[in-house]
Chains A and B, each alone.
Chain A
């Protein structure tokens, strides 16, 4: 056992020594970092799970504010009623899907109403149409965006993420972007059709898509503000990108507990076997 604890000590020493000294030797990055304001996501960390009500509100924001320009092609309507997501009822999703049209050249009329099994229809038939409608910029698809974006963190924050399993940089990015459509600095010449964003540190082809009171939430538990909309839609986008998060983390606990118990038993077996050998 002595040998094993010594082994672990040297592992810790080697890794800790290596990483921390590498960080200390190197002076702070010369690249400009615009710090993101980290949010308290319900799905962050190993105990984090999606909040069904937040995802439902986020869907409302997505549908009413984003979906006119941004697609979500990896999502099927049926996902909206699946467990671990917004969990709308099946009949709600069926009614929702029926409002959308699927173009299908095989059919006589060339189109039909969508069913829960269909993918979320693209807002523009072609890339060219999308660009034409958005002053030359293509509005990115939303289905993976929350995982395709990240924030730049300073040391040691980013290194701690490995131990806290914080993977919510993408939603932090989205939130910070959405609430930072401000006036441009005085010396900055904003081109026509472009909008300054303080978090982005430059201009975007999208104006602020959210403003206070634009979407009606049921009840008055949550404020109808840009900040709240941004939080909710970012959470919804994370769900779109990683719909199985709840069950994956649940399974993780089962697996880790099993491994700890098995490892404990194996330590005992190993000691018994080696008890007659001086090593």
Chain B
């Protein structure tokens, strides 16, 4: 008799726990869409990779394109720019990186980077031919005076790191895919 009562109790407890667990899982699954809807939507994700044609960019000039809501700086570097960058000794750099690490092998003339200062997120100048390029011929951030060189490396000022390189690759000599 006593053992029967215990079995009954165990059965009942199991049923309660199982039902409670089902209900809890169901609630969690129902709440997830309400949270997930805050993630980037399909139209935003569709723009998470873009293709940029380089054919219209003239040597020595830059273009800015939008990618994931951020400016991408693309510069067609001159032989001078490249030589100048390669000549810098590593120990002079705050965030050491060789010129080769900043570009794609065989496409050294193309520098592609996210145009956001690594200090506090301003957009540096130096894209347009007339704008301030800083002391090292690259970019200059007017907010707090960071100077970047022709490989986008931080040379002077408060920024801690070089300009960030996005994920990109060359689909052909004149077409890159970012993201």
Contacts and interface: CB of A to CB of B under 8 A. Distances in A.
A117 interface: yes
A78 B46 contact: yes
Contacts of A261: 22
B19 A262 contact: yes
Which size class do A's interface residues fall under? 10 to 19
Interface residues of B, number: 13
B143 interface: no
Contacts of A76: 43, 46
A115 B22 CA distance: 45
B68 to A, nearest CB: 12
B13 to A, nearest CB: 10
A169 interface: no
Given A115-B51, A116-B46, A262 B18 contact: no
A117 B49 CA distance: 10
A78 B12 CA distance: 53
Contacts of B43: 76, 117
Contact of B19 (A78, A117, A258, A266): A266
B175 interface: no
Interface string A165-209: 000000000000000000000000000000000000000000000
B63 to A, nearest CB: 10
A117 B15 contact: no
Interface string A219-263: 000000000000000000000000000000000000000110110
14 contacts: A115-B50, A117-B43, A117-B46, A117-B47, A258-B22, A258-B26, A262-B22, A262-B23, A265-B15, A265-B18, A265-B22, A268-B15, A269-B16, A269-B19
Interface of A: 76, 78, 115-117, 258-259, 261-262, 265-266, 268-269, 272
